[in-house]
Amino acid sequence: MRVVSGIFALFLALSAHAQGTVELLLFGGEGHKTFLGCLNCSRYDSGSVCNRYGDQGSKYSSDSIWNKYGDFGSRYSDQSPWNKYASDPPAVVDRDGNFYGYMTANRNNPKRTRIKVLIALTDASDEVVEDPDAAADIFCDR
């Protein structure tokens, strides 16, 4: 995996900082009704994108951003955060429904999230799709 150490150092610093703050949830699919996981919950949380044994953190689950063959993890799917041309990427919200933008590698999306760690992660989309296990391990600090 081609890893730019500065980007992944940023992942570690920001994801560690994000622990204990408002829970950021990811929703995708038609009408953004499919729960794709909590982005900054503990890796032991059953709904965390960092729980490799949960539906949202498993590289085999259809509802996981780490499944490079699924709608939400493929570089070709319009519903994936890793597609640089996606027009229907996952939405980042909190439990109160506050919208934090779309998690997308599409830099031209005017509603792309401004959360730095998610921008850094989606900017590394080629590396993420190439080796989602390594990307998840770094993002999740595991």
Segment 26-53 shows an average pLDDT of: 96
Mean pLDDT of 38-57: 95
Instruction: List strands edge to edge, sheet with 91-93.
Output: 34-38, 25-28, 91-93, 99-102
**Res. 108 pLDDT band, cuts 50 70 90:** very high
pTM of the model: 0.86
Q: Which residues have a Cβ under 8 Å from the Cβ of 98 and sit 6 or more positions away? A: none
Q: What is the pLDDT confidence band of residue 1, given thresholds at 50, 70 and 90?
A: very low
pLDDT-derived band at 69 (thresholds 50, 70, 90) equals very high
Average pLDDT, stretch 67-95? 97
Q: How many residues does the chain have?
A: 142
8 A C-beta contact, residue 34 and residue 24: no
Query: Is residue 88 packed enough to be buried (19+ CB in 10 Å), middle (13-18) or exposed (0-12)?
Result: middle
